[in-house]
Amino acid sequence: MERTDFTKTTLADTPLLSASKPVIETDELYDTVIIGAGLSGLNAAKILSQAGKKILVLEAQDRVGGRTWTQPVGANDFVDLGGQWIGKGHDQMYKLAAEAGLKTFPTYTHGKNVLRLEGKSSSYKGETPPLGLFALLSALKLMYVFDRKASKISLENPWMMENASEMDNRSVGSWIDETISNKKARIMIKRTAEAMLCRNLENVSLFQALVNAKATGSLKQAEKVEDGALSDRISGGAQGVSHFLYSLVKDSVKLNCPVSFVTQLENYMLIGNEDFSVKAKKVIVTAPLPVVKNITFSPELPIEKQTLINSMEMGTVVKCNAVYDTPFWREAGLSGSMVCLDEIVELSVDNSVPGSDRGIITSLIHADRAKELLQLSEQERKEILLKAYANIFGEKALHPILYIDYSFTNNPWIGGAYSGLLKNGIYSKYGKHLAKPSGNIHWAGTETSTLFKGFMEGAVLSGERAAKEILSQN
């Protein structure tokens, strides 16, 4: 097979949809201007434009997709640097992928997984690492107790739950510490929770963790491959869904257009930055709340919304991908999946593309470990990752044809991943204002979704909800 040298490829080399300043019709009065061309903004745009509304989508970056971002790493190979998995209940994402003509394929799970602990590797089949009977029973019991608590939450009005405020002022980390005594089980549960929430568990309230789990089905469902949130991937990459939505509203999307102000005037709103402004009757803001701070609103937003914007923080995750000539670990009967409880590299998956000769191992590193990794150079990160892979998959792992990692923490228009969470004590008090319109300003984005918060599905649903709010008003 012809071997291409991808080692020189950098993200900046990838073709942009548009690098030049867009032409905007500034005399028009738009029905709705949408800020952000991620899945939520593009889905809102699709629905409003199909309803005959005159819309404009303003995107700060030079590409659409936001937290979906697919990079080619070979003729048919790709890596998703943002969202990639869809699964049980992600009905809108499956529907959109089908409409786009994109097939889905199951996450690779054949072969043995590896548990890495205290410098030793042990292999196992299935989803339960061999931590010892007592540790496993303790972990299962905690998950059961957590999911039972979560099942009592009403997703429409979680803040009405008894003890909501008390649970919101308590960290999920301290709850785990107090609920589980077995050390190995505690470490495993904490790593699992950090992998979902992408932050130190002292900074996540028990209440918010419960609501997020309920919004995903359950904690069990959120971490599962088979019949869970991680069961499938999208052929060609998840950004394909964003590109499909973009193709439906292309003429109404302007890239390289960061919005820095939204001003309500007597008869319309003015939206723009120092280079341009446009008029609209309604605005949908889809930017993650922490980066909404870049926008000045006149008049000021209601105090509840300001509190939410000032109290939300994005998580931290680094997604690291090593591309090899072949998926050589499969020859050894390994699945490529690894769980590590006491090293910086916490997990890996086989992210190879079906039908390709190449093999791809992807790691996601979360929370404080991700912050630590981001202090290092790309070369240093690469060395750490490849060494960890070599410990598990053998020496061949040291020689990928390409290594590529990315963290949305370094993206000023998104600020982190997978999503934003509120500081402890805020959600129970102000959560009901997350999706509430502020006059003519409507709010979308995965963080505002009732279901599948933080997921691509949540983003799509939130865009639909915001579009319908506007359609129901006229």
Token pair in block for residue 124? 């196992």
CA 211, chain centre distance (Å) = 17
* Burial (Cβ within 10 Å: 0-12, 13-18, ≥19) of residue 317: buried
Residue nearer to ligand FAD on the CB measure, 77 or 223: 223
Nearest Cα residue to 447 out of 429, 468, 463, 425 = 463
User: Of residues 31, 59, 223, 350, which one binds ligand FAD by CB under 6 A?
Assistant: 59
Q: Which of residues 61-80 bind ligand FAD (CB under 6 A)?
A: 61, 66-68
User: Of residues 44, 53, 55, 82, which one binds ligand FAD by CB under 6 A?
Assistant: 82
User: Of residues 418, 427, 430, 443, which one binds ligand FAD by CB under 6 A?
Assistant: 418
Token pair in block for residue 331? 């020859």
CB of 208 to ligand FAD, least distance (A): 16
CB of 337 to ligand FAD, least distance (A): 15
Give the whole-angstrom CA distance, residue 420 versus residue 432.
16
Give the whole-angstrom CA distance, residue 89 versus residue 69.
22
Task: Name the phi and psi angles at 201, rounded to 5.
Answer: -70, -10
Element (H, E) at 292: helix 289-292
Stretch that binds ligand FAD, among 158-166, 391-399, 422-430, 450-458 (CB under 6 A): 450-458
User: Of residues 49, 84, 424, 428, which one binds ligand FAD by CB under 6 A?
Assistant: 84
CA 457, chain centre distance (Å) = 10
Contact string (CB under 6 A) for ligand FAD, positions 318-347, x = contact:
-x----------------------------
Q: Is 419 in the site for ligand FAD (CB under 6 A)?
A: yes
Residue nearer to ligand FAD on the CB measure, 324 or 452: 452
Residue nearer to ligand FAD on the CB measure, 427 or 455: 455
Strand blocks (E) in 325-367: 334-340, 347-350, 359-366
Stretch that binds ligand FAD, among 179-187, 212-220, 305-313, 406-414 (CB under 6 A): 406-414
Stretch that binds ligand FAD, among 100-108, 135-143, 158-166, 407-415 (CB under 6 A): 407-415
User: Of residues 270, 325, 413, 425, which one binds ligand FAD by CB under 6 A?
Assistant: 413
Contact string (CB under 6 A) for ligand FAD, positions 3-42, x = contact:
--------------------------------xxxxxxx-
Residue nearer to ligand FAD on the CB measure, 39 or 143: 39
CB of 207 to ligand FAD, least distance (A): 21
Angle subtended by helix axes 172-179 and 183-197, to nearest 10: 160
Nearest Cα residue to 31 out of 462, 474, 444 = 474
Task: Name the phi and psi angles at 270, rounded to 5.
Answer: -110, 130
Give the whole-angstrom CA distance, residue 450 versus residue 216.
10
Q: Is 83 in the site for ligand FAD (CB under 6 A)?
A: yes
Give the whole-angstrom CA distance, residue 314 versus residue 198.
8
Residue nearer to ligand FAD on the CB measure, 117 or 301: 301
Give the whole-angstrom CA distance, residue 100 versus residue 134.
47
Report the DSSP pairing between strands 261-264 and 269-273. antiparallel
CB of 367 to ligand FAD, least distance (A): 13
Does residue 393 contact residue 334 with C-beta atoms inside 8 Å?
yes
How many of the chain's residues bind ligand FAD (CB under 6 A)? 43
Contact string (CB under 6 A) for ligand FAD, positions 301-320, x = contact:
----------------x-x-
Residue nearer to ligand FAD on the CB measure, 297 or 455: 455
Q: Hey, how many other C-beta atoms are within 10 angstroms of the C-beta on 60?
A: 22
CB of 472 to ligand FAD, least distance (A): 21
Nearest Cα residue to 21 out of 275, 248, 270, 243 = 275
Contact string (CB under 6 A) for ligand FAD, positions 255-294, x = contact:
---xx--------------------------xxx--x--x
Q: Is 164 in the site for ligand FAD (CB under 6 A)?
A: no
**Residue 256, by phi and psi: left (phi above 0), alpha (psi -120 to 50) or beta?**
left
Report the DSSP pairing between strands 359-366 and 317-324. antiparallel
CB of 90 to ligand FAD, least distance (A): 7
CA 437, chain centre distance (Å) = 24
Q: Is 85 in the site for ligand FAD (CB under 6 A)?
A: yes
- Map tokens 């404080």 to a residue: 368
CB of 138 to ligand FAD, least distance (A): 28
Q: Which residues bind ligand FAD (CB under 6 A)?
A: 35-41, 58-61, 66-68, 82-86, 258-259, 286-288, 291, 294-295, 317, 319, 408, 413-414, 417-419, 445-446, 454-459
